Amino acid sequence: MSLLFFLFQVVGISLSGALAPGPVTAAAIAMGPKNRFAGILIAIGHGIIEFPLMVMIVLGMDKILKSTTTQIAIGLAGGTFLIIMAVGMLRGLQSNKNQDFTITKSGPLMAGILLSGTNPYFLVWWATIGLALATTATGFGVWAFVLFALTHWSCDLVWLSVLSWASFKGTSLLGQRSQRIILLICALALLGFGALFITQKLPLLIKIVHNRLFEGH
């Protein structure tokens, strides 16, 4: 397989992941009305987590990401974080004030970092599909791995930029009411993702605790 063909595969697989609805997608849409460059900043924050992760999984960190304990911890922490953000957005919408609604007080860059680092699906993707791609890239050499990393991240950068820009333009065309509707949808999406993360991992935690408590009885 040629390097060029491999990179085409990377683009296709990366876009399929980027286009899937998720917390980062919701953040880009929610923060877009107040900042047309929110998607770029979120993508940079996403990259701050993603680039080191790419290197670490090649070095064997995928075993840690695949462990049940790690997945439970990340799922519960990420779910709680998303619910807190969603509640904050909903409260902001109820206040009827023309305020700057944000996912985090630190802005889009920090949102990209936090939403990526606390998303169990993102980490599992890298421990499975991402690992396979990264391993293939290393077979072509170090520079091919760098090119692979930049190609993958560029797909996120382009998509998130398009989302925030479209959200910004849509709000300026449709007005304040459309902004509030967009924020409501994004808040509910974050709330749903948070609940999903917790309901998927909480039973596993309960099972582990139960087994350890009654082990040997």
Whether 184 shows a pLDDT value over 70: the answer reads yes
DSSP for 58-113, please give it.
IIIIHHHHHSHHHHHHHHHHHHHHHHHHHHHHHHHHHTT------SSTT-HHHHHH
Burial of 202 (0-12, 13-18, 19+ CB in 10 A): middle
Residues 3-21: what's their mean pLDDT? 85
Structure confidence by residue, pLDDT tens digits, 13-38: 888 778 777 888 888 888 888 888 99
The domain segmentation of the chain, as residue ranges, is: 21-213
What is this structure's pTM? 0.79
pLDDT of 43 reads 95
